[in-house]
Amino acid sequence: MNAPDLPGQPHLAYRAGGLFFEDVRLADLAEQHGTPLFVYSKAAMLEALQAYQRGFSGRQVQICYAVKANPALGVLQVFAEAGCGFDIVSAGELERVLAVGASANRVIFSGVGKTRAEMRAALEAGIGCFNVESESELEVLNQMALAMGLRAPVSLRVNPNVDPQTHPYISTGLKNSKFGIAHERVVPAYQRAAALAGVRVVGIDCHIGSQITQEGPFLEAVERMIDLVQAVEAAGVAIGHIDFGGGLGINYSGESPPGAEQLWKLLGTRLDARGFGQRLLMVEPGRSLVGNAGVCLTEVLYLKPGEQMNYCVVDAAMNDLPRPAMYQAYHGIVPLMPRGQANTIWQVVGPVCESGDWIGHDRALALEPGDRLAVLSAGAFCMSMASNYNSRGRPPEVLVEGNCSRLIRRRETVADQMSVELLSTKAP
Ligand SMILES: *Cc1c(COP(=O)(O)O)cnc(C)c1O
């Protein structure tokens, strides 16, 4: 068997019979549920969470899973049962976390464009904190809370002006970013918040970007955040918790991001050195908890060898796996059942009518039509960004635990898609 390496893919391994996730043979799941199909490992998610928990041992911390990375109810349940809080960015995500029984006071609400209706829903639910991203949002939240006879718990999302050295679309903490309150406005914004009767200052937060693979930007953010906390507290406003956001990257193609445990032990020593190590700390990891805990299974439909390019057309597409088209992102692609020497270079593409619909460029694979492949590192920002483009139903999702597997989302049908539509003239 010519089994490829699987670096950075916990609980994914070749055994006799092909590729396994934990103790479940992936070819069996593809047979049972069809393809494309997302499969997640519960053990991989919990181990990623435990690395954070070890990194914070001896400290007060609230780890809030960033729901947008993967909002499946079955995934949220795993994190809720493990004691996580949640970082949400919409009222829809609020409904999801409440639906799995998460306690509202461990929910924090981020995002630059919260609507009044979303603020009302979150105030009614009694969430733990609004991460306010602008001074105008602060005024609206104050009015909404006063009208409901409440005081909204707030943290101001500040822009620490740190370059995360990642893809520009997922850099969020630079000076000219749309996110957060500009550095120089932080002290006056806190003074304003402290003067408003409808809000209560409970913390400060930042989030500098995503898929960050070095320690440097996090170290810099910690220093800039402590500078800001000191400036705000010197101006007479007590801050409470410090939330460092998410952003830790994963290994997609040989990146070697620091481990969460090692990173947070290091950042903790910096916080201790500046006298802030015993504050209530928060983090909002998304990708690093689920990204490498998921794969997407797909079947080879057709092979089109050509003079210049060899195309391998699979049944998964940009609507299922949007990251390559959106960010030129790389996902590993491996066979479920390896066959012989991989000596042909393939362009792995989907069936959607766009040249941007590719899953992987220049992959050495030994393939026949009907073979099944696993697209790796597909646990984060894949299903959560999936669409119905080309009227394709979104794939089902399966959660694996040991030798058991459970369907946590069935395949979407065309009837599901059409159920929200209305005809423009009387039905024929
Ligand atoms: C997206 C996001 C996160 C999670 O980012 P990851 O890179 O997935 O860890 C955390 N906080 C906020 C405010 C976000 O927008």
CATH code of the domain containing 350: 2.40.37.10
In this structure, are 295 and 281 located in the same domain? no
What tens digit of pLDDT does each residue of 288-312 get? 999 999 999 999 999 999 999 999 9
- Record the pTM: 0.97
In this structure, are 225 and 266 located in the same domain? yes
- Please give the mean pLDDT across all residues of the chain: 96
Using the mean position of ligand 1's atoms as its centre, give its distance from the Cα of residue 246 in Å: 5
- In ligand 1, the atom with minimum distance to the C-alpha of 285 is 9
Q: Classify residue 184 as exposed, middle or buried by CB count within 10 Å of its CB (0-12, 13-18, 19+).
A: exposed
Mutate to test the pocket of ligand 1, among 208, 210, 212, 383 (most ligand atoms within 8 A of CB): 210
Once rounded to an integer, what is the mean pLDDT over residues 215-235?
97
Ligand 1 pocket residues where CB is under 6 Å: 66, 68-69, 87, 110, 207, 210, 245-248, 284-288
Residue 166: what pLDDT? 78
Sign of CA dihedral 94, 98, 100, 103: positive
Residue 14: what pLDDT? 97
In this structure, are 306 and 266 located in the same domain? no
Tokens at 387, concatenated? 């669409």
- In ligand 1, the atom with minimum distance to the C-alpha of 68 is 1
What tens digit of pLDDT does each residue of 106-143 get? 999 999 999 999 999 999 999 999 999 999 999 999 99
Residue 1: what pLDDT? 53
Taking 60 as the threshold, does the pLDDT of residue 147 lie above it? yes
Residue 222: what pLDDT? 97
Once rounded to an integer, what is the mean pLDDT over residues 225-235?
98
Taking 60 as the threshold, does the pLDDT of residue 168 lie above it? yes
Domain termination residue (choose one: 240, 263, 285): 285
Using the mean position of ligand 1's atoms as its centre, give its distance from the Cα of residue 423 in Å: 39
Once rounded to an integer, what is the mean pLDDT over residues 86-104?
98
What tens digit of pLDDT does each residue of 378-396 get? 999 999 999 999 999 999 9
In this structure, are 147 and 275 located in the same domain? yes
In this structure, are 272 and 365 located in the same domain? no
What tens digit of pLDDT does each residue of 395-428 get? 999 999 999 999 999 999 999 999 999 999 987 7
- In ligand 1, the atom with minimum distance to the C-alpha of 380 is 8
In this structure, are 178 and 230 located in the same domain? yes
- In ligand 1, the atom with minimum distance to the C-alpha of 69 is 8
In this structure, are 247 and 362 located in the same domain? no
* Host domain of residue 231: 110-285
Mutate to test the pocket of ligand 1, among 112, 133, 207, 290 (most ligand atoms within 8 A of CB): 207
Number of domains in the chain: 2
Active site residue 353: yes
Using the mean position of ligand 1's atoms as its centre, give its distance from the Cα of residue 66 in Å: 6
Tokens at 315, concatenated? 């049944």
In this structure, are 20 and 136 located in the same domain? no
In this structure, are 324 and 302 located in the same domain? yes
Residue 3: what pLDDT? 83
352: confidence class by pLDDT, cuts 50, 70, 90: very high
Q: Flag whether 376 is in a domain.
A: yes
Domain termination residue (choose one: 268, 285, 302): 285
Which is catalytic among the residues 64, 84, 353, 382? Answer: 353
What tens digit of pLDDT does each residue of 319-346 get? 999 999 999 999 999 999 999 888 899 9
Residue 176: what pLDDT? 75
Mutate to test the pocket of ligand 1, among 68, 93, 204, 255 (most ligand atoms within 8 A of CB): 68
Using the mean position of ligand 1's atoms as its centre, give its distance from the Cα of residue 200 in Å: 24
Using the mean position of ligand 1's atoms as its centre, give its distance from the Cα of residue 11 in Å: 24
Domain termination residue (choose one: 285, 301, 333): 285
Once rounded to an integer, what is the mean pLDDT over residues 42-51?
98
